[in-house]
Structure 1
Amino acid sequence: MTNPGTLYIVPTPIGNLGDMTERAIKTLADVAAIAAEDTRHTRKLMQHYGIQNDVFALHEHNETQRADAVIERLQQGDSLALVSDAGTPLINDPGYVLVQRCRQHGLKVVALPGACAVTVALSAAGLPTDRFAFEGFLPSKPQQRRAKLEALKTEPRTVVVYESPHRILHTLADMNAVLGTERQLVLARELTKQFETYLNGSAAELLQILTDDSNQQRGEMVLLISPLQQETEASDGPGEAAKRTLLLLLEDLPLKKAAAVTAKIHDERKNVLYQWGLENKNKD
């Protein structure tokens, strides 16, 4: 009986070709074939790394139809690789349907670590990263986009979205209208490429920067929105429930750890809890 093959999820560079891992190159060379979002783009990448292999198209418009054929090949013993145009497949790219089908059929799926614009942007943006919400692309229609921003207005986590150059000014204008001038944003542009840029400020400030310099409107973009709680100064200290939790935890944990745990439980600011704990942990 033939052993079934494995589906490998293989990230590719988001800009800098030096970010392709040795394991990813070897995997693409060793599998029976490669399922690619855009075969032309992937063949150029393969040529750069000297990879010779069969490539077939699997994208958002044919994934459902092609999934059964891929499953059949895996069941017959072929190992296959899935790549998107850039970054990690399935992260706002095709592949979910195929991976779900593989799991349903008990087929092995192995994901390789690698480039992803979401994590790259988060790592260097200077916003809280202990929790975040990735929303992919915001809706293209203005009314729907503003409605989505309204829903995200009270989000206590850092919000990450992708945006395209031809919509960035409209999106920043909507963010200014919905989120106001106090909410801090970071625009990460052309990540890992020659003109990589991080711009930070309010939506109004970023809108002005991009309006004054049209070069800043070009390229792949990631927008990050600071969490609501970061913009709210807790002048009266943490809430009563958080105070009680912190005092209980302090019976068994050091202050730093107790403040961190309490912050996660109550969506409070860790530094505010820590300061309150310093002032109150030894009081009767």
Structure 2
Amino acid sequence: MRALSALACALALAGPALADLRHRTTVQAFRVVSLAYDAQVCGFWVAEEGPDLTLLSPGGEVILRVETDMPQVRSLTVDGGGLLIADGWGGFRHIDRQGRPLDAPFRLSDTLRDTEGLHRDADGSFLVVEDDPSRLLRIGPEGEVLMGLNGDTFTPPMTEPQGVERDPYSGNILVVDDNEGTNSLFELAPDGRVLSVTPLSAWGHDAEAVALQPETGTLFIGFDGGRALAIFDWSPSEITVDEPLERGPDCAMM
């Protein structure tokens, strides 16, 4: 009995498991603040905290550069026929894939100010991370708060979440925590249960953004320190939804 208790204590102290994460390559010269995978064009959009966006192939090659009329793009996601971009101060706007505005600036929700990471989910709602205070939110299409999780209550705490993504096959939510936190990749169940926490300092400092090509498991993680964009092969720790989510159009494997 004592042996079993000791084993239980050891497992509790060990903390969450590590993700199945295998480094492929690193692309330099991108000061990444946000990433979004776009199955419509089989590429990853990169925001660098200025008005410009860059579209990269899953291998990291530049496909396209576009300029928006937003002074700075702090976070972005694919939404409808184009992109939804945010300035990090509560302002949002839809643009097409050439950077042209599709509507006037608006507020997605009155509760959102410091939007560090943004992801449109399959049901039309948005996953949002903010770092002051540390929280993961689900915002409905009309701006209502459907879920709110405090990152400081996680084990270990997620104190500076910067980017968010959802894997449609497993249902898991991926969040990167920057250097003011753990500089780690958090893998969460839809209810916020921590599935894995993987330190990222071996590949970069100050993790800012994450995006996934679900068909291939190609994972992009952007770092502010060192201007690095690391590319990995990733597999989920477990399946947390009964049915796969809508994942968008098929995309060429690369």
Higher radius of gyration, 1 or 2: 1
Instruction: Using CA pairs under 8 Å that are at least 6 residues apart, name the structure with larger relative contact order, 1 or 2.
Output: 2
Of Structure 1 and Structure 2, the greater helix share is in 1
TM-score under structure 2 length normalisation:
0.26
Of Structure 1 and Structure 2, the greater strand share is in 2
